[in-house]
Chains A and B, each alone.
Chain A
C-alpha cells in the first residue's frame, strides 16, 4: 500500500516537474524578446526622452512597428486613435508592435493617461518630455500631427502617414502594415 502511494507521489512529482519545465521554457521564450509587451489589459504611460527614441525602437527589432504621434488637442489624431488600437489588437499576434507618443507636454500627463485608458491602449505609450514644439524638432516631425511612422522588422523606416500633401487614409496604413508583416 505504502509502495503504491509512493509511486503515486512520484508520478505527481514528475508531472509537476515536467509542467514547471514546460512553463519555464515558454516564459523564457517570451522574455528572450528584448521588450516585454505591456501585460494584457494594462494601460501604461512612460515619459519619453526624445533623444533616446532611436534606442527605444531597437528593442522592437523583429517586429513591425507602427508609431502614432498624437495630442489631445488634435481632433483628427483622436479620431484615428481607435483605428490604431484596433490594428494592434488584430495584428499583435502576427508581430505588430504599436507605440504611441503624445505631444501634449508633461503638464497634461494625467489627461493623456485617461485618454489612453479610455481607449484601451494596451501597447507601449509615451509622452514627450519636452514642450511640444521642441519635441517635434527632436523627433523630426516636420508636418505637424497626425503623423504615423512604420518600421519593418529590421527597424528600417518604411512609411510615413499621411504622405506629403495627402490626407490620412487608414486603409493605406492597414495595407502597408500587413504587407510588412508578410515578409
Chain B
C-alpha cells in the first residue's frame, strides 16, 4: 500500500469514527438539570387565559411545581385530579402548580387545552409553548414530568408525581414528600425520581 493511500484510508476511518460517535441515539447532548441548579426562566408563554406568562409571575409563591403535561396522554390525564388536589392542599402553604404543554398535536393545542382545563377544573395556570423551548431548557422528556423550584428558584426536586398512574395503587407520594420536606426547610430524602409517561411529542 502506498503512503498516500494509507493516509487516505486513515482519514476515511477518522471521518467514519466521528460520524459514528455523533450518530443519533449515541450522542446524548440533551440538557439535564441537577438539583440545586438555577431553574431556567421563561417568559411570554400563552396561557389558557389568553395572557402571556413568565416565571416571574409567580414570585409571590414560595415553591413552584412546574409540570410538563398535555391533553391526550392517558398517564398525564390520570394525574390531573391529583394535581388539582395538590394545588388545593398546598396553596395556603405557598405552593403554586404551573402546568405546561409543549406538544403541537391537534389534540394538545391551546383551544383543546382550554376545554380540558375547564372540564377537569384546573385550579392552576396551563401554559402552551409551541416552540418547545421550555421543555428543552428543563430537559423534560415525557408527560407528566415535574420540577419543584424553591424560594430561590433553584431546582429542588424533579421526576415523577408518585409511583403509580393508577391512583388506588399509589404507595409512594414522591412529590408530596418532597414538598413537605422543602416547606419545613429540610432537604427531601429523595430529590430525583424517574419520570414515566408518554414521550413529549418533539417536532
Contact = CB atoms under 8 A, between A and B. Distances in A.
Interface of A: 73-76, 105, 131-134, 136-137, 141-147, 150, 158-168, 172, 176
A167 B202 contact: yes
B173 to A, nearest CB: 13
7 contacts: A75-B72, A133-B165, A142-B141, A144-B143, A146-B199, A158-B26, A167-B203
Given A143-B141, A144-B199, A137 B164 contact: no
Across the A-B interface, the 4 shortest Cβ-Cβ residue pairs: A144-B142, A164-B30, A143-B141, A159-B25
Contacts of B72: 75
A9 B72 CA distance: 73
Interface string B55-78: 000000000000000001011000
Interface in B36-85: 72, 74-75
Contacts of B197: 144
A160 B30 CA distance: 14
Contacts, number: 76
A172 B26 CA distance: 13
A136 B194 contact: yes
Interface residues of B, number: 31
A132 B196 contact: yes
B185 interface: no
Given A137-B194, A165-B136, A131 B163 contact: yes
Contact of B198 (A74, A159, A165, A172): A74
B4 interface: no
B24 A166 contact: yes
**Among B143, B164, B196, which residue has the most Cβ atoms of chain A within 10 A?**
B196
A183 to B, nearest CB: 12
Given A131-B169, A133-B160, A164-B30, A145 B25 contact: no
A144 B195 contact: yes
A141 B199 CA distance: 11
Nearest to A105: B166
Interface string B126-164: 000000000110000111000000000000000010011
B24 A172 contact: yes
B23 interface: yes
Contacts of B120: none
Given A131-B163, A131-B164, A133-B165, A144 B23 contact: no
Interface string B178-203: 00000000000000001111111111
